Structures are given as structure tokens and as C-alpha cells.
Amino acid sequence: MFHEWSMQLGQTPGGPGPQPEAEELWEREMEWLRASQEPLRLLPYAMVDKRFIRQMREPEDMEMTCWQQWQRRQQTMAHRLREAAWRLARGFGLWEGALYEIGGLFGSGIRSYFTFLRFLLLLNLLTVLLTANFVLVPLAWLHPPGPSPAPNFTLQCPRGHQPQTDVPRFHNRLWNVLTGRAFNNTYLFYGAYRAGPESSSAYSIRLAYLLCPLACLMLCFCGTLRRMVKGLPQRPGLGQAYRVPLSAKVFSSWDFCIHVREAATIKKHEISNEFKGYLEESHRLRGAQRETPAQRACRLLSYLRINVLMGLLVAGGISAIFWATKYSQDNKEEPLFLVLQYLPPGVISLVNFLGPMVFVFLVQLENYPPSTEVNLTLIWCVVLKLASLGMFSFSLGQTMLCIGRNKTSCEAYGYNACDYQCWENSVGEELYKLIIFNFLLTVAFAFLVSLPRRLLVERFSGRFWTWLDREEFLVPKNVLDIVAGQAVTWMGLFYCPLLPLFHSIFLFLTFYIKKYTLLRNCRASPRLFRASSSTFFFQLVLLLGLLLAAAPLGYVVSSTHSSWDCGLFSNYSAPWQVVQELVALRLPVPGQRVLHYLGSHAFSFPLLILLSLVLTVCVSQSQANARAIHVLRKQLVWQVQEKWHLVEELSRLLPEPGSSESPIPDSPHFRASRPRSFGPGFPSPGSPGPRPGPFHTDRP
């Protein structure tokens, strides 16, 4: 284009060529392109025009040397290699093809669950990598000492109470693997980690073991928060009620690069599901706008009734978990100990299995929108799951650490030393059993419940089998299952440093199990919802699980006495004491004074004032940005109106093609002679209907 125009500008004045106005516009465009520093790849021109622009930007009196030409070729080649590597990495991404297939067949809402599962797998792999690099590798390099000698104190236990030993009580190897007793002397549990005095080595294994879980939790928090903020609706310049026009979805949804029939089928299903979700949300929105005040009050009362009923169910569930855990820990010497080992995980799984089903049934009775139904069910499932884990942790703390009750065996040692000599290993075993039990339930439900149900429904016909039908893939229940498993994994970072490795394997297998269940045994939900309405909530639930795991860990590290005869902190009153010891041993006096000042009240008050100022500035900047966006939106509307006014004036003044006189503006001949459109998306002022603008709903 540019080359042709330049040839036309070089013609004789009498020959055909551009008009003076066009020549002036051409010169302005050339000056702007010559002075602009915008990268060529961002300019909306063809490759031939971009080469012409690059030649214009180069100085005329300077020729490129061979070295500069070689550098430019190397830069171009490096850029192409980076783009090719990025495309190759995306092509070999984990489960990209499976996620595309799931999203096309079942919608973006169900695909968001599998994307969330992949994100959790990456978090666990990162945690395993940090633990291996900062704890396991230095521990193997430094050759830890052998088992510590027996403690020089005698346990004063009541009659009938004998201290536990680490020797497995049962000789069944499979049972020892399922309960974790087979790994008591391995690096899976806290009791197998040992180290010499802090003054004998330059690298502190104790400090690394203590700070690694905290660093992992902080990294997981930052990654989850970043993903949650990234999933927020990015519509700061649009109104709250702005919706993407359906025409944009119709004309821009298809991918014209598809050449495979299977991919085209999946894409058609994906577009169909997107249209269904969009139309259903539009119908719900119009219905909500037509509600009367009485109908709105009835709807709020139904919300209140459902929430009160669900709250009572949650209270009953966590009470059952508390008593099951207490009974299991208080009856360790009973003949039914084999069954009591898995009584707390069994009760927790039963409550968390029946709870979401009852919640879904109660919510579906009120005929809520799909997104509201998913979010409301997810809220109460979150409350049930997190309350279950919290009550389970409190029950273990009450039994092993005597939290909330007085017990003679805890007064001298800070924990129940008579029943739990290495209480960290006992807690790790309970969390290990929870992870194992959850995965076994996933496998059992996939192949012993969902698969037989599908086979029976396909084989038999009748009213009952029609009513039963295939299983529907419930996103809230499945999300809460993996969030609960991840919360248990985070809770066990101190007691089971390698528990994320087991959980990573289970997540990897869970993806394929859930994919098989979804594609073979489940049916597509008739009520679709978009991923944008649930992904943010998934990340919020994960953050709540992380906070639930961090609270007990912080209490144990700072305030709980460690076991006397196992682990790295056997000689410390609390694990955090090793930080104080290292500060006193290896930090100079000025550094100690700085740390003492940072932990004092003299530093907390200026820090609080500084944080208040920063928060005030951020809020003020946010409000200023909101006002600026509002003003810019109004200016955009005014500019559109001004352009329409210019279009009207231009169409009134332009003569009819082929006529020497201008028709009367109000005559039918004038309206018929005007063009039907002025540009893409801008119909002629004389055409019927309102004049569209990008923000016509906010016209002043």
C-alpha cells in the first residue's frame, strides 16, 4: 500500500494521482510513522508496509555495517526461537488436550475444576522441590548422627498407662502401609530427622526444617492470591451491567484454524454450551428485574431458611467428628483397634459425602440460578469441610497436647507423654491416613459406584432406571474434595515433610480417574454455568484452607513442647527456640539489636502508621481511577455523539452522485440517496433504529 502510494506521489501533476487533501494526509501519516517508536509488530499493516516503515525510520546518511546487520539477524532469529519455544511449551503443557476436550464437551464450568486440579498439582510439586533442596539434600550430605540415647528421665504415668513405642503392633505389611507405621523410621515422618548441635555445622538443618513449611505456605499463598486476582473480572472501564453482545459471540467464536473433524465437533459443543449459559443467565437477569418487592422478600426469606437448615446440619456433622476422634484415641487398647484406626477418617468422609448431597438437594428445591446454586452450595460445603478439619485438629490437640482440659500426664512434659512419646509422628500418621482414605474413596466411587450405575442404566429400561439415570458431575463436591485434601497436606508439612509427594501422585491419578468418570459414567448437566463465576470462588476456598492449615502450624511451632526422644527439636521447649539460639550464636550484636527492635512495640506503632498511610493512598488512588474512568466514559459518549453530528452534516451537504444539484434534505429522494452505513458498526443516521454506540446505556 505504502509503496503504491509513493509511486503515485511521484507522478506528474497532469496524470492520475491523489488529490491535494489526500497528499496532505499521506504526509502526516508518514511523519507520524517516521517519528513513532512503536514496535513494528504492533502496527496494523502488512509485512510489505512494515518493511517500508523500517526503511523510513533508518537514517538516510548512514548505512548499516556488516556487524549491525549480523546483530539484527541474530535478534530476529532469537525472537523467532523464543516464540517457537513458547508455542512448543504450550503444546506440551500438562493435560492441554484433555482440558480442551472437557471444555468443549461439558462447558468451561466443569473444565475449571480440572484446571484447578492441575494448579494444585503444580503447587505440591513446588513444595516437594523446596523440601528436597533445603532439607533432604543437605541432610544426606551432612550425614546425620544415629539415634539419640534414651532420655535421662522416667515417665511418671498413672497405673495402667504404658508409654507407646515405635514398633508396629501389627505384622500385616499392607496394614502397616495404610496406617503409616511402616514409614515411622523413614524421612516421611518427623521422628526420623536428626541433627547434631547447632555449633557443630555451618548449615542448620533445624532452621531449614522449621522455615521450609513456612516458606512453602507463603509461596502457595502468593500463587493462589495471584491466580485469584488474575481471575477477577477485568471490566474497570465498563458499567456494572455491561454484557458482551451476543452478536460478538456469534461472529467471533469459531476458530478458522481448525481442520480436524474431531476438533471441529468439540468446538461446536463448546460454542453451544457457551450460548446456553449466556442465554440462561440473560433470562434469569430479566426475571430478576421484573420481580416485585413481595417476590424479592419471599426470595430473601427462602435464602434465610435454607441457610439456617444447612447451619444445623453442619453443627451436627462436626459434633459427630469430634466424638468419633475422641473415642478412637481413648480406646487404643481395645480389640477393635484395627477398625478404630480409620474411624475418624471414615466419619469425616461420611459427613463430607452426605453433606454436599443434602445441600445440593435443598438448594435445587428453590430454583436458584446455576451460578448462585453452585456458589451457595460451595459456601456451605466449604464450611462443612473446613469445620470438619478444624474439629479433627482440635480433637487431636485435646488428646495429645491436652488443649482445653487438665490432665496429669501433660503437666510435667507439656504433652501426653504417657500415651504419645513421639506425638508428632502420631499426628503425621492421622493426616497420612486421611490422605490415603480420601484417595481410596475416590477410586472406590469411580469404579464401584459410578461405573456399575452407568452399566445398569444402559442395560435396563423402566421408570426407575430412567429416574436414576447417569451420575451428574457435581463441581462443588469435587472441588471441595481436592481442597480438603490439599488443606490436610498443608497441615502435615511439619509432621510429614514428604506428604506433598504422596498427594502429588494422588492428584495425578485423580485427574485421569475423574476424566474417565466424566467422559464415560457421567451425563452433561442441563444447567450450565461459566467458569468466570466459579474460578474466583475456588481460589478463595483454597485460601481459606491454607489459613486453616497455617493456624495450627503456627501454634505448634511457637507454643508447643516438642517430643523428648525423637525429631530435630527434642532438646527444645518449642521449635521456634532454635531461631533464638541461632540468632544468639551466629548473628553479631548490631544485628541482634536490629531484630530486637523489629520485634518490639517501638517498631510496631510506626509500622502500623505506615501501613495506614499506604492503605489510604491505595484507596484514594483507586477512587481517583474510578472517577477518571467515569469521566473518560462520558467523553467517549460525547465523542461518539459529535461524530454522529458530523455525519449528519456531511450527509446533508454531500450532493447526490450523478447530479449537479443537492437534493432537499427533507425529501424522500435525499434519504434514499444517503449511504446505508458510514462504517463498520455505524449505520447511517437515516437508517431506522437507535444510533448505537459502545456505551449507549450511559448517555447523559
Query: Of residues 569 and 376, which shows the higher confidence score?
Result: 569
Query: Of residues 153 and 542, which shows the higher confidence score?
Result: 542
The tally of CA atoms less than 13 A away on the side-chain side of residue 378 is: 26
Query: Of residues 444 and 93, which shows the higher confidence score?
Result: 444
Mean pLDDT on 289-301: 79
Mean pLDDT on 399-405: 74
558 close to 576: Cβ distance less than 8 angstroms: yes
Q: What is the pLDDT of residue 281?
A: 73
536 close to 117: Cβ distance less than 8 angstroms: no
Angle of helix 96-106 versus helix 108-131 axis, rounded to 10: 150
In the structure, what pLDDT confidence band is assigned to residue 132 with cuts at 50, 70 and 90? very high
- Comparing 5-19, 84-98, 333-347, 571-585, the range with the smallest average pLDDT is 5-19
Interatomic CA distance for residues 686 and 674, integer angstroms: 8
Mean pLDDT on 213-226: 90
pLDDT tens per residue across span 497-551: 999 999 999 999 999 999 999 988 887 666 555 555 567 777 888 888 899 889 8
Residue 366 grid cell:
428453590
For residue 463, pLDDT over 80 is answered with yes
pLDDT tens per residue across span 174-200: 777 887 888 888 888 998 888 777 766
pLDDT tens per residue across span 480-497: 888 889 999 999 999 999
Burial class of residue 145 (count of CB atoms within 10 Å of its CB; 0-12, 13-18, 19+): exposed
Mean pLDDT on 389-393: 84
User: How far, in Å, are 33, 377, 460, 612 from residue 27 at the CA level?
Assistant: 10, 63, 79, 54
In the structure, what pLDDT confidence band is assigned to residue 691 with cuts at 50, 70 and 90? very low
φ, ψ dihedrals at 10, nearest 5°? -85, 5
115 close to 507: Cβ distance less than 8 angstroms: no
Residue 25 grid cell:
494526509
pLDDT cut 70: percent of the chain above it: 76
Burial class of residue 54 (count of CB atoms within 10 Å of its CB; 0-12, 13-18, 19+): exposed
Provide the mean pLDDT of the chain.
76
Q: What is the pLDDT of residue 61?
A: 52
Q: What is the pLDDT of residue 203?
A: 82
In the structure, what pLDDT confidence band is assigned to residue 698 with cuts at 50, 70 and 90? very low
Q: What is the pLDDT of residue 396?
A: 82
Mean pLDDT on 356-361: 81
Model pTM score: 0.71
231 close to 247: Cβ distance less than 8 angstroms: no
For residue 610, pLDDT over 50 is answered with yes
Mean pLDDT on 246-275: 76
Q: Cβ contacts of residue 469 below 8 Å, gap of 6+? A: 457, 523
Strands 471-472 and 522-523, how do they pair?
parallel
Mean pLDDT on 217-238: 74
Q: What is the pLDDT of residue 88?
A: 67
Interatomic CA distance for residues 356 and 369, integer angstroms: 18
In the structure, what pLDDT confidence band is assigned to residue 235 with cuts at 50, 70 and 90? very low
Query: Of residues 114 and 277, which shows the higher confidence score?
Result: 114
Query: Of residues 420 and 612, which shows the higher confidence score?
Result: 612
180 close to 342: Cβ distance less than 8 angstroms: no
Residue 601 grid cell:
512495640
| Three-class HEC string of 524-565 | CCCCCCCHHHCHHHHHHHHHHHHHHHHHHHHHHHHHCCCCCC
| Three-class HEC string of 154-175 | CCCCCCCCCCCCCCCCCCCHHH
Interatomic CA distance for residues 183 and 181, integer angstroms: 5
Interatomic CA distance for residues 53 and 51, integer angstroms: 5
- Taking alpha carbons only, the member of 359, 361, 526, 509 closest to residue 447 is 509
Query: Of residues 674 and 103, which shows the higher confidence score?
Result: 103
Q: What is the pLDDT of residue 509?
A: 94
496 close to 190: Cβ distance less than 8 angstroms: yes
Query: Of residues 158 and 646, which shows the higher confidence score?
Result: 646
For residue 685, pLDDT over 50 is answered with no
CA distance from start to end of the chain:
41
Q: In this structure, is the dihedral angle defined by the CA atoms of residues 416, 422, 423 and 429, taken in order, positive or negative? A: negative
Angle of helix 108-131 versus helix 499-516 axis, rounded to 10: 160
Interatomic CA distance for residues 330 and 38, integer angstroms: 73
For residue 306, pLDDT over 90 is answered with no
Top-ranked range on mean pLDDT: pick from 280-294, 475-489, 583-597: 475-489
